[in-house]
């Protein structure tokens, strides 16, 4: 679990009266987490039915990070995600059907099957891409933030990545760059303890406990480590970072401790994990914890159950729509290589 929590849980007894987040936002955060959970679980089931093609990287167990950060974002803010980006894409409001359609490589997919699971992008939702080369998108997010700084826009770019990213060069180039230019960018590390198949702890010096936050300190950024399974803590921490970025006070790095329930990708059963580790994290399941908190705050069981049922219905409907959707048109093979819409490289 987290070794240190920055924003402490609300002091007992919880109640809507002293709630700094508010019922509406809490229900939104809950709905986002449930949507991610149900959609990811469905993606896994569809994979077992051979209906999800190619690869896919699920965020089961990590829902609170995407949901908490997204709740703190304004529509104009931009997300830069990784190949494990279904969660962050859904959290910005992209429809389940568009995401599942892309995973199933159908014509109704977000990019009509041209990108696949690892490259979910929805510019109209501020999802500026999912990047499948580790670390590539940290400098890209810096560039978007540079544009905001230069143009005097007050949007913020958010860049999600995993613990494994902290050892690649682009991570360090981006941190130095963002800190030096005081760019309005927020780096969100989802530390789920494993890069792909290897524990992050096996590949960093023993003196480094938190590979993103500890290194961020070297670039003059505050060392922030939070419980990534607590969506409220993520939300509160992100709010502080957004306010700082919008004020022109530069970047933040937030390291969120969390855990993925599935393997790295669909090819990985996750056998490298010690016995009991998964179960211990499942006891702190982000959605179960959040559901209980909603009840503690006096929100009615029926209201919660309604959201769950509604999300399941959306996912079921999306699944059927995707199954019925045609495969992408062959004309897409050569479309949009260049800005003229085509692929001509010669006259």
Partner 1 sequence: MAELTYRDAVARGIAQEMARDEDVVFLGEDIAKAGGVFKTTVGLLEQFGPLRVRDTPISEQAIMGAAMGAAMTGLKPIAEIMFSDFFAVCFDYIANEFPKSRYMTNGQVRCPLVVRTANGAGVHFGAQHSQSVENWAMMIPGLKVVAPSNPRDVIGLLAAAVRDPDPVIFFEHKGLYPTKGEVPDGEIVDTLGTAKIVRPGKDATILALAMMVPRAIAAAERLKAEAGIDCEVIDVRSLVPLDTQTILGSVAKTSRVFTVEENPRLCGWGAEIVSIVADEAFYDLDGPPVRITTPHIPLPAADKLEDMVLPNEARIFDTVRRSLEG
Q: Which residues bind partner 1 (CB under 8 A)?
A: 78, 80, 110-112, 114-115, 119, 121-123, 128-129, 131, 133, 135-148, 150-151, 157, 169-170, 173-174, 176-177, 180-181, 332, 335-339, 341, 343-347
For partner 1, give the closer residue by CB, 66 or 174: 174
Cβ-based nearer residue to partner 1, 5 or 136:
136
The distance of closest approach from Cβ of residue 114 to partner 1 in the complex, given in angstroms and rounded to an integer, is: 5
Shortest spacing between CB 221 and partner 1, in angstroms: 16
Give the CA count within 13 Å in the CB-facing half-sphere of 9. 12
Q: Which is nearer to partner 1, 138 or 188 (CB)?
A: 138
Whole-number Å distance between alpha carbons of 91 and 85: 10
Least distance in angstroms from the C-beta of 201 to partner 1: 26
d(CA 126, CA 108): 19
SS3 state of residue 201: helix
Q: How far is the CB of 328 from partner 1 (least distance, A)?
A: 9
Name the token pair of 337. Answer: 């290589």
CB of 37 to partner 1, least distance (A): 26
Select 66 or 142, whichever has its Cβ closest to partner 1.
142
Q: Which is nearer to partner 1, 176 or 265 (CB)?
A: 176
Q: Which is nearer to partner 1, 202 or 340 (CB)?
A: 340
How many of the other CB atoms lie within 10 Å of CB of 228?
30
User: Closest CB to partner 1 among 124 and 202?
Assistant: 124
Q: Which of 173, 171, 217 is nearest to 195 (CA)?
A: 171
d(CA 49, CA 47): 5
Both tokens of 66, joined, read 């995407």
DSSP H helical ranges for 247-300: 277-282, 286-296
Peptide bond into 13 cis (omega under 30): yes
**CB 53 to partner 1: min, Å:** 16
**Helix, coil or strand: residue 73:** coil
Give me the residues paired with residue 130 across strands: 81
Q: Rounded to the nearest whole angstrom, what is the least distance from the CB of residue 180 to partner 1 in the complex?
A: 7
Contact status, residue 53 vs residue 32, Cβ threshold 8 Å: no
């Amino acid at each position: 679990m987290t070794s240190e929590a920055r924003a402490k849980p609300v002091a007992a007894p919880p109640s809507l009266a002293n709630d700094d987040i508010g019922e509406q936002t809490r229900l939104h955060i809950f709905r986002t987490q449930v949507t991610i959970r149900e959609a990811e679980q469905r993606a896994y089931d569809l994979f077992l039915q051979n209906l999800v093609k190619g690869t896919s990287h699920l965020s089961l167990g990590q829902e609170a990070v995407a949901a908490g950060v997204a709740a703190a974002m304004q529509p104009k803010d931009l997300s830069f995600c990784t190949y494990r980006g279904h969660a962050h894409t859904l959290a910005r409001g992209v429809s389940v059907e568009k995401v599942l359609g892309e995973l199933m490589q159908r014509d109704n997919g977000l990019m009509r099957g041209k990108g696949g699971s690892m490259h979910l992008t929805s510019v109209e939702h501020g999802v500026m891409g999912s990047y499948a080369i580790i670390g590539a998108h940290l400098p890209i997010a810096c560039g978007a933030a540079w544009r905001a700084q230069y143009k005097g826009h007050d949007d913020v770019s958010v860049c999600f990545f995993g613990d494994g990213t902290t050892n690649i060069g682009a991570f360090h180039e981006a941190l130095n760059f963002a800190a030096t230019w005081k760019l309005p960018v927020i780096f969100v590390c989802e530390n789920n303890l494993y890069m792909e198949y290897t524990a992050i702890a096996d590949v960093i010096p023993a003196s480094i406990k938190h590979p993103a936050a500890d290194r961020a300190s070297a670039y003059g950024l505050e060392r922030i480590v939070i419980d990534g399974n607590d969506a409220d803590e993520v939300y509160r921490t992100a709010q502080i970072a957004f306010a700082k970025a919008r004020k022109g006070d530069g970047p933040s790095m937030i390291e969120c401790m969390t855990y993925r329930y599935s393997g790295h990708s669909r090819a990985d059963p996750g056998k490298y994990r010690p016995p009991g580790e998964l179960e211990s994290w499942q006891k702190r399941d982000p959605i179960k914890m959040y559901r209980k908190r909603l009840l503690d705050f006096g929100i009615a069981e029926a209201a919660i159950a309604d959201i769950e049922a509604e999300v399941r219905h959306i996912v079921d409907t999306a699944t059927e729509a995707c199954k019925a959707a045609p495969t992408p048109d062959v004309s897409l093979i050569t479309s949009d290589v260049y800005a003229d819409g085509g692929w001509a490289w010669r006259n």
